[in-house]
Chains A and B, each alone.
Chain A
Amino acid sequence: MDIFVQTKNSFSRFFSAFFKRKRSKVGIYGPPNAGKTTLANRIARDWAGDTVGTVSEIPHETRRALRRQDICISGSNGHSITIDIVDTPGVTTKIDYKEFLEYGLDKEEAITRSREATEGVAEAMHWLREDIDGVIYMLDSTSDPFQQVNIMMIGIIESRKLPVIIAANKIDLPDAAPQKIRSAFPQHPVVPISCLEGKNIEELYEQMVHSFR
């Protein structure tokens, strides 16, 4: 490599280290089957033209934290953010492989799935303590938001002083009650959405641009 190219590369590295904006890692957390991967896929599809992971009705389909890098989201006010979206396994304090048998998995498959799920949850907790800069906490608005795991997770996120948006998902379902989520966590912005139908998703993007800048 000639001296000119070497010098040019050194300058380029120097300036990019100075001027490159730090890319935030936004984790999508929440209990199993709240719709975290559906949201991660929608964000990746809307802003980067691809998907992050597979979706299934069996709990713990996502058993590893999956990252989609460099997603640029623009708000209506002209501001934009560039983030990495981290789709995480559903957080829980218990996993019983027998639950998976009900979905037609045989015992061996169920045990493997449960072992992978436990590793995934441990990894997600580790990410939250070490690597995450902001959180979308995903809740199923047809379920009770006062479950201990939700209270604990919001407490952990608050203690780390991370910006958080609560997404009240599944508002397309008849027994959805996003107002219950609002009253459970009045200290945080709550955005009612349907990831499946894309309902109100623009409001979530606006809130993301506002909260994760």
Chain B
Amino acid sequence: MNRWCIPSGDKKMLQGVQIDLISQESLENMTSMEKIHLILDKVRQGTIVILEKGLEPDEQSKLIEMTMKEILPDDFNGIEMETYPSREESSFLSRLIGRHSASTRLTVIGPANQLKMIKKDKDQISAWISTR
């Protein structure tokens, strides 16, 4: 759990959960393994990570594999993850050659013991976050 002191001289300690929003630009400059390590390092510390653009299927597969290798009894149980359904993107050129690509969308990832998904539909994800 991450704690911050309120800077106003108030001695009250704010207890809560850190949420990191990572931009699409930042993700595009990373390799797959950099993204996966970034996510797992943050989530292991109890941070909720929101990716502006989701992971590619191959990255998702590696994320599951790496998550399994990180699980430790009484320490880290794995991740909870939710994403909007991917959107089909078809340009004139892709229609011409008969290829459609699916664009991944906003993704929420957090520690399985803190993040619980309540509801998801086409354009909204409702999640409940608990402190550890």
Chain B residue numbers with a CB within 8 Å of A118 are 68-69, 71
Q: A115 to chain B: which residues have CB within 8 Å?
A: 73
- Produce 1/0 per residue, B109-124, CB < 8 A to A: 0001100010010000
Cβ contacts under 8 Å, A77 to chain B? none
Is B73 touching A111 in the complex (CB atoms < 8 A)? yes
Are B58's CB and A129's CB within 8 A? Answer: yes
User: In the complex, what distance in Å separates the CA atom of A121 from the CA atom of B120?
Assistant: 25
A95 to B73, CA, bound (A): 9
Instruction: Kindly list chain A residues whose C-beta atoms are within 8 Å of the C-beta of B86.
Output: 155
A94 touching B112, Cβ below 8 Å: yes
Given contacts A156-B58, A158-B57, contact A93 B112 (CB under 8 A): yes
Find out whether the CB atom of A159 lies under 8 angstroms from the CB atom of B56. Answer: yes
Partner of A122, one of B60, B65, B102: B65
Task: Given A129-B58, A156-B60, A159-B57, decide whether A95 and B68 contact each other with a Cβ distance below 8 A.
Answer: yes
- Which residues of chain A from 118 to 168 have a CB within 8 Å of any chain B CB? 118-119, 121-122, 125-126, 128-129, 146, 148, 151-152, 155-156, 158-160
Q: Is A197 an interface residue (CB 8 A)?
A: no
> Chain B: interface residue count, which band?
20 to 34
A152: chain B residues at CB < 8 Å are 57, 60, 64, 81
The listed residue with most B CB atoms (<10 A of its CB), out of A91, A95, A160, is A95
B81 touches A148 (CB 8 A): yes
Overall SS of chain A's interface: helix
Q: Secondary structure at chain B's binding surface: helix, strand, loop or mixed? A: mixed
Contact B73 A114, beta carbon cutoff 8 Å? yes
Q: Is the CB of A97 closer than 8 A to any CB of chain B?
A: yes
Judged by a CB distance under 8 angstroms, whether B61 is at the interface is yes
> What are the residues of chain A within 8 A of B120 when measuring CB–CB?
146, 148
Q: Name the one of B58, B78, B85 contacting A95, with C-beta atoms under 8 angstroms.
A: B78
Check A82 for interface membership: any CB of B closer than 8 A: no
Q: At the interface, yes or no: B80 with Cβ under 8 Å from chain A?
A: yes
Cβ contacts A to B, 8 pairs, < 8 Å: A92-B78, A93-B64, A94-B71, A96-B112, A111-B73, A125-B64, A148-B81, A159-B58
Interface on B for A, CB 8 Å cutoff? 56-58, 60-62, 64-65, 67-69, 71, 73, 77-83, 85-86, 102, 112-113, 117, 120
Residues of A within 8 A of B (CB): 91-97, 111, 114-115, 118-119, 121-122, 125-126, 128-129, 146, 148, 151-152, 155-156, 158-160
